[in-house]
A and B are shown apart, each in its own frame.
Chain A
């Protein structure tokens, strides 16, 4: 299996260098950093010229941030997977990049090993939820007495199983641990997580659209 080609987008050169060094030091042959960009425009040009497998995308950058990169590239390059990486834990930032098309969200304090695992996981088509992202999504989909916000039950409600998976993610469980906890296969956990991600991206639930509109993006 050829290594996963990773592209870094972050406006802080120091951080890019740190991530590159950390991934290189792992000696992980599953991952190969093929390029980096320090601005939104640079990222759009370089990723468009030679699409990688996974883009590690900084949320906060000048000129629109990670969302601008997603808006420009995601529709035209459906094969490129975006993994958002940020120091911000604000709900609107997290939800915003997820709704922009990112397949996962991790904070910058993540260890190199966990980051490598997350990259491989999103490259394989799975969703990556940090505990905080899981918490936000649970919050957004919680059964609050606002039935009016549920316009499409298929998209606007989480199944009990999905909710359970999310809660365990928020408690810091890995997919493997969740599978063991719920007596289901890891594959099933991944399916639930992907389904939750899709609902987070597509749902018009009040809480989700509010997060998006607060950033003036809908």
Chain B
């Protein structure tokens, strides 16, 4: 019975026991003080004040003496031990009652007796006597409530605020019973004593009861609400942490495992690293880096917390893999059919880069679409594409054609330019959406393009013309290529956040 766990309720309160160690009379006050984390002097004073009410305090003390179990003699040591371990603030744990404390207790009692005598001399004792019956009933009802709250506090925390409104069935009956007892006691008393003096004393009794209940429960309720808030914040934080951990596991750790397995193939490693970087970037900052503005201030802490780590990772790979594999050999050898949608990366359209796994619903806009196709081409051809988009607009069939043509231009650059980097710049300005796809590669003579280069003629030029746009190719051998695509955008189609 001396194990420390016995001495505490499940929620960490010191159990209500009567310690031998530190008692003056029966240890009731010391035990109650430890249980309620109050100074023992206050508890003793409360008993004395209650005793003034025609001996209610004495009755309470006697009842507690009877019903509260006495602590085994070796218990207090264990209690003191747990007290220091858990460090319950203000827990007045039983300790040996010194002569000073004994004197204080006796002093309080003497003061009570003095006040009682004075009250009797002044003739107010009568009214105090009338208080004892309702007070006893109220005390029993209050005890029910108190006990109920103590037992279910943990449960309420778990169920948050809903627990307050809808406690369990048994708990509900106990609360109803407690309240019924309180009201019933008062009602019986009021019906029994209808004369004016008694009614007045009943009024005083009710007032005192209410004040007493308030004094006891208000700080406790305040603490409960405070704890509830803290607990909820902690739970949200834990959930966010778990989400980040789960995401990192699903993405980065898996990719790192793949990279280790493919470490003999620099091209594949670069592709994996680049793809993972893009995905993580999209997760942290949103598509194309612009959605970060839409983030609420609340979740700004999440990315910040992982930023350093991310940087270590992406920095290591970004710096560790120079653009060495400049022999950008093409993946699909059937260059004559560039419109086949079977790029090795296209099966990844359900990749988190396209659909931010944050679950944030994002409208499909030009910036997002461009970032998405850039990623697909990057994945398929192991090159680096950094799309920069100024302004934005929601997707329309015209813009979809623009994006498809831009993708074709990127694929052409990846396959034919022989460089590792392609610049993509998109803008929505004064009713026109334009995309510039530029490489510093080998370049070609646009007038000498063979008719079988359907990619340029059909997929880019033809597509843009069908949608009322233009495609312009600027290239010459040795100085790279820039393809300029533009389509009109309806003025009212410019998205609201772009006009912000």
Interface residues of A (CB under 8 A from B): 11-12, 14-15, 18-19, 22, 58, 60-62, 86-92, 107-109, 111-112, 131-132, 134-135, 138-139, 142, 144-145, 167, 170-173, 214
Partner among A109, A142, A173 whose Cβ is within 8 Å of the Cβ of B391: A142
**Residues B390 and A87 in contact, CB atoms below 8 Å apart:** no
**Residues A12 and B289 in contact, CB atoms below 8 Å apart:** no
13 CB contacts below 8 A, A to B, read A12-B312, A15-B316, A18-B320, A60-B308, A62-B308, A88-B311, A89-B289, A91-B290, A91-B293, A109-B384, A131-B423, A144-B499, A170-B425
CB-defined contacts of A107 to chain B, threshold 8 Å: 318, 386
- Given contacts A88-B307, A88-B311, whether A142 and B319 have CB atoms under 8 Å apart is no
CB-defined contacts of B355 to chain A, threshold 8 Å: none
B388 within 8 A of A: yes
| A171→B485 CA distance, assembly (Å) | 13
**Residues B314 and A87 in contact, CB atoms below 8 Å apart:** yes
CB-defined contacts of A109 to chain B, threshold 8 Å: 318-319, 384
**Residues A92 and B292 in contact, CB atoms below 8 Å apart:** yes
Min CB distance A118 to B, Å, is 15
**Residues A88 and B285 in contact, CB atoms below 8 Å apart:** yes
CB-defined contacts of B478 to chain A, threshold 8 Å: none
Partner among B284, B289, B308, B390 whose Cβ is within 8 Å of the Cβ of A142: B390
CB-defined contacts of A172 to chain B, threshold 8 Å: 423, 425, 438
| A131→B427 CA distance, assembly (Å) | 13
Number of chain B residues close to chain A: CB under 8 A: 38
* Per-residue interface assignment for chain B, residues 295 to 311, with 1 indicating a CB less than 8 Å from any chain A CB and 0 otherwise: 00100100000011011
Chain A, Cβ-Cβ closest to B320: A18
Chain B, Cβ-Cβ closest to A19: B319
B482 within 8 A of A: yes
| A145→B391 CA distance, assembly (Å) | 13
**Residues B482 and A171 in contact, CB atoms below 8 Å apart:** yes
Chain A, Cβ-Cβ closest to B285: A90
B422-450 interface (Cβ within 8 A of A): 423, 425, 427, 429, 436, 438
- Given contacts A89-B281, A145-B499, whether A170 and B311 have CB atoms under 8 Å apart is no
CB-defined contacts of A19 to chain B, threshold 8 Å: 319
| A74→B187 CA distance, assembly (Å) | 78
**Residues A108 and B314 in contact, CB atoms below 8 Å apart:** yes
CB-defined contacts of A171 to chain B, threshold 8 Å: 423, 425, 436, 438, 482
CB-defined contacts of B285 to chain A, threshold 8 Å: 88-90
Min CB distance A138 to B, Å, is 5
**Residues A91 and B318 in contact, CB atoms below 8 Å apart:** no
- Given contacts A18-B319, A109-B384, whether A139 and B311 have CB atoms under 8 Å apart is no
CB-defined contacts of A139 to chain B, threshold 8 Å: 390-391
B301-339 interface (Cβ within 8 A of A): 307-308, 310-312, 314-316, 318-320, 322-323
CB-defined contacts of A18 to chain B, threshold 8 Å: 316, 319-320
B389 within 8 A of A: yes
**Residues A132 and B390 in contact, CB atoms below 8 Å apart:** no
CB-defined contacts of B315 to chain A, threshold 8 Å: 12, 14-15, 87, 108
B500 within 8 A of A: yes
| A62→B290 CA distance, assembly (Å) | 24
| A15→B425 CA distance, assembly (Å) | 29
Chain B, Cβ-Cβ closest to A58: B311
Min CB distance B178 to A, Å, is 50
Chain A, Cβ-Cβ closest to B440: A172
Given A144-B500, A172-B425, 8 extra CB contacts under 8 A: A18-B319, A89-B281, A108-B311, A134-B388, A145-B499, A171-B482, A172-B423, A214-B293
CB-defined contacts of B320 to chain A, threshold 8 Å: 18
**Residues A135 and B388 in contact, CB atoms below 8 Å apart:** yes
- Given contacts A14-B315, A88-B311, A91-B293, whether A135 and B322 have CB atoms under 8 Å apart is no
- Given contacts A15-B316, A18-B320, A88-B285, whether A131 and B388 have CB atoms under 8 Å apart is yes
Partner among A92, A131, A167 whose Cβ is within 8 Å of the Cβ of B386: A131
Partner among A14, A60, A132 whose Cβ is within 8 Å of the Cβ of B307: A60
CB-defined contacts of A60 to chain B, threshold 8 Å: 307-308, 311
Min CB distance B47 to A, Å, is 54
| A61→B311 CA distance, assembly (Å) | 10
CB-defined contacts of A135 to chain B, threshold 8 Å: 388-390, 425
| A139→B289 CA distance, assembly (Å) | 13
Min CB distance B322 to A, Å, is 7
| A87→B318 CA distance, assembly (Å) | 9
Partner among B281, B323, B389, B438 whose Cβ is within 8 Å of the Cβ of A111: B323
CB-defined contacts of B390 to chain A, threshold 8 Å: 135, 138-139, 142, 170
| A90→B388 CA distance, assembly (Å) | 12
CB-defined contacts of B427 to chain A, threshold 8 Å: 138, 167, 170
A60, A87, A111, most chain B CB atoms within 10 A = A87
| A19→B319 CA distance, assembly (Å) | 8
Min CB distance A148 to B, Å, is 13
